[in-house]
Structure 1
Amino acid sequence: MDRIELIAPCHFGLEAVLKREIQDLGYEISGTEDGRVTFYADMAGISRANIFLRTAERVLLKAGEFKAETFDELFERTREIPWERYIPSDGKFWVAKAASVKSRLFSPSDIQSIMKKAMVRRLQEHYRTDWFKEDGASYPLRVFLKKDVVTVGIDTSGVSLHKRGYREVSGKAPITETLAAALIMLTPWRGDRILVDPFCGSGTFPIEAAMMAADIAPGMNRSFTAEEWTNLIPRRAWYDAVDEAASRVRTEIETDIQGYDIDSSVIKVARRNAREAGVDHLIHFQERDVRDLRHPKKYGFVITNPPYGERLEDKRDLPDLYRAFGESFKRLDSWSAYMITSYEDAERYFGRKAQKNRKIYNGMLKTYFYQFPGPKPPRKDAGKGAD
């Protein structure tokens, strides 16, 4: 199994960002669909993908793909997969999640039950036993059915990759770490540029930006299900990936990253989260109203997740809030603004039309990523004469 295929699910609408990340790691893309990217790697690639990918929700080892229109077909085709290549005799295995779109088989519980029975039958024949203790490492499956095509992946990550390990407590309406990272990557912002989030909440945008600037891999400080798969991945592969990540960290850099929020309690949470992420020295958090948004320098970025008005009583406050945000932004000479919100009148009250508007699903919530790019700064060597 030198060459394997891995599946990386992501937020709908952000596949291109994840694809670029995977290619930057040196892996070949094998396919892109709504909400996921597949790619070729070796077993060590499981370690590297889990530790380095900022925008993937998890990493799955692709075990098989087939067509099934009946439960009998589902059983037989699942049974044909060589499960003994992946699951040892003491392995714990189950179908953790089944999702079906436009397929004849649509009951998740029935799909899960039948596939488990098929796996048991296959492994019983291979290991010549009638009963499995299942007291070893875990091999949870995640199954996708789309137009009767069944894609089977073994989950290498365990807890979703947006759980970096730094955010135990969140503010109201938190944005996930993976989504925040992907949205930052959609902008031209780089670590040597100014970034301000005037609705920072628990600090996710500033923290993810600081981790990018310092090249801190998002999975350095957490564990993964596949670490226990010693039958497939040598422990050395995990040590090597962590060593590679550690060698790239640059915490001595200087940044201008700021997070503001009107709620002092969430600012305390943001500071604590930044400490946990190891980037508190790279971010300035402050209790501040959006009406007081200002900065002396030009060519900065506002990247933010303003309130959506999830509760009916909050919606009444949104016009004034977005109007105040727009007025404050006008004072920022030559700046760019990027905001994700589900508020349909965001542009109207912000006071300008977005140059680009990307639809993104934040969980089940349809949101829009409004993009207001400003002018590019002059090149640092512009105006210098030739030597």
Structure 2
Amino acid sequence: MNTFVALCAVGAEKILGNEIKHLGYALAGNAPGRVSFLGDNDALYRSNFCLRTSDRVYLQMARYKADNFDSLFEGCYRIDWQDFFRKDVRVVVDKVRVYKSRINSEHTIQGMIQKAIYTKLGDIWRMNSLPESGNQADVRVYMERDEAVILLDTSGQALHKRGYRTEGGAAPLRETTAAVLLQEMMWRRKTPLHDPFCGSGTIAIEATLYAHNVAPGLGRNFAYENLSIYDSSRALEIKKEEASKIRTDVECHIAGSDIDPFAIDRAKLNAEHACTMAGRALQLIGSDMRIERPEFFVSDFENLHSEFENGLILCNPPYGERLGDEFQAESLYRKMGSLISNFENWHIGVITSQKSFENCFGKKASAVKSLKAGNLDTSFYIYR
């Protein structure tokens, strides 16, 4: 069994943990923004293909006591790095995080880990220097209470980059954050869903992938493909297994609207890319079926009305951080009160960084969840 560490938005650890358990893997603890779990060799592929709310998956290479630089170096040197890398590898210690540890210089820790890895590879391969002409391998280090955790990146590009979004507009919502919001609302495919500020269409597209059980990573590549442990035939088998789980027989009512026609054009294009990705996955198992595209149309949110008795409004309206200003955002939030009357008996979920949202909206939320989306501290207001 291997230990993996999946990163997520701070505040989404429980949701990510539930996802991991649903895949059949046992949890091994968590910390703010990350969840550890135990998995077999297949977990390397399946977690990257399937996790909707994780930003990145690491393989834990070692965990050991390190209260000085000698023990930090020795512990890293003991790792069998030669079993994972090719001889032309370029190793980068991309990030170091320190919490309550005696050795606390991130720069020095970074250099020491890099030196330990290259020293080990040079000793094993009898090379004075490595060519570093091949693919990059990223290593991350957590130093917490004098304990070092050494992680090897298996994802490459962050997992929110599914591969379907060509252009996100001025302030796009991360795909992984959209997936978290859907889970927070406990949304199910039979429930109509509408995003009245759809922008590039992320919420509606993520809902479509979830409703049709499309693993979000089926259309992209991963860093594990550059590692010596990569088994291409097994990865393809698992990809086919996940493709066979795609549902093409479900009826959904998923839509998004925006006052900006260019945003709607982007959303339609991104949705087409996402659904085409699912179609290519189905072709791997000999199926020519297709999944239903979400509907996108131009409309001011104040002109919207419910076509169904019940449903979910889920949206990411302008915060005033990158689009407009705080005054404009608060003015918009006051107008958003129309959603309550126009969508009576619907649940509503709104994510924003503005703490004044409830007062402007005119109604106290049933629940408020804190999420760190990107570099912004946001609140998710849930109205049931």
C-alpha distance 348-41 of structure 1, shift in aligned 2 (>3 A): same
Q: Does 1:253 align with 2:250?
A: yes
- Correspondence list, 1:16-27, <5 A: 16-27=14-25
Q: Is 2:231 aligned against 1:234?
A: yes
What residue in structure 1 maps to residue 338 of structure 2? 327
- Seen in structure 2, the aligned counterparts of structure 1 residues 9 and 256 have a Cα distance that, compared at 3 Å, is same
Q: Which whole-Å deviations, capped at 9, do the CAs of 1:352-378 have from their partners, x for residues lacking one?
A: 1011111111122111011111xxxxx
Q: Once the 2 structures are TM-superposed, how far is the Cα of residue 336 of structure 1 from its aligned partner?
A: 0.4
Question: Aligned-pair distance for 1:350?
Answer: 1.0
Cα pair 2:171 2:322 within 8 Å, conserved: no
Partner of 1:7: 5
Counterpart code for 2:121:
L
Distance 1:144 1:334, change over 3 A: same
Q: Distance in 2 between matches of 1:134 and 1:43?
A: 27
Identical positions, percent? 37
* C-alpha separation in 1, matches of 2:238 and 2:33: 26
Q: Which residue of 2 aligns with 1:45?
A: 43
The yes-or-no answer on 1:354 pairing with 2:354 is no
Contact 1:355 1:371 in 2 (8 A): yes
Q: 1:268 aligned to 2:295?
A: no
In structure 2, the partner of 1:285 is 296
**Between Structure 1 and Structure 2, how many residues are aligned?**
370
Contact 2:367/2:382 (8 A) holds in 1: yes
Following superposition of structure 1 onto structure 2, how do residues 1-387 of structure 1 map, counting pairs within 5 Å? 3-229=1-227, 231-278=228-275, 281-310=292-321, 314-373=325-384
Give CA-to-partner distance per residue, 1:17-52, whole Å, 9 cap, x none.
111111111111111111111111122210111001
* 1:43/1:233 contact within 8 Å kept: no
Q: Give the partner amino acid of 1:277.
A: A
Deviation for aligned residue 1:75: 1.7
Please report the RMSD computed on the Cα atoms of aligned residues, expressed in angstroms: 1.8
Contact 1:327 1:350 (8 Å CA) reproduced: no
CA distance in 1: counterparts of 2:20 and 2:143, whole angstroms: 24
- How far apart, CA to CA, are the structure 2 residues paired with 1:83 and 1:311? 43
Paired with 1:340 and 1:184, the residues of 2 have a C-alpha distance of 12
Separation in 2 of the partners of 1:275 and 1:284?
Answer: 11
In structure 2, stretches of 5+ residues that fail to align are: 277-290
Letter in 2 for 1:200: C
**Is the 1:227–1:238 contact (alpha carbons within 8 Å) kept by the matching residues of 2?**
no
Q: How much has 1:104 moved relative to structure 2? A: 3.6
Contact 1:43/1:232, CA 8 A, preserved across alignment: no
Q: What CA distance in whole angstroms lies between the structure 1 residues aligned with 2:42 and 2:130?
A: 28
The one-letter code sitting in structure 2 at the alignment partner of 1:238 is A
- Identify which range, 131-140 or 267-276, moves more after superposition: 131-140
8 Å CA contact 1:292–1:328 kept in 2: the answer is no
Q: CA deviation at 1:195?
A: 0.3
Paired letter, 1:175: L
How far does the alpha carbon of each residue in 1:147-181 deviate from its partner, in whole angstroms, 9 at most, with x for none? Answer: 33221111011000000001121122211001110
Structure 1 unmatched runs, 5+: 374-387
TM-score normalised by length of structure 2: 0.91
The alpha carbon displacement at 1:335 in A equals 0.6
2: distance between equivalents of 1:125 and 1:199? 57
Which residue in the other structure is 1:379 paired with?
Answer: none
Structure-2 separation of matches of 1:5 and 1:30: 8
Q: Report the secondary structure of 2:325's partner residue.
A: helix
Equivalent AA in structure 1 for residue 251 of structure 2: E
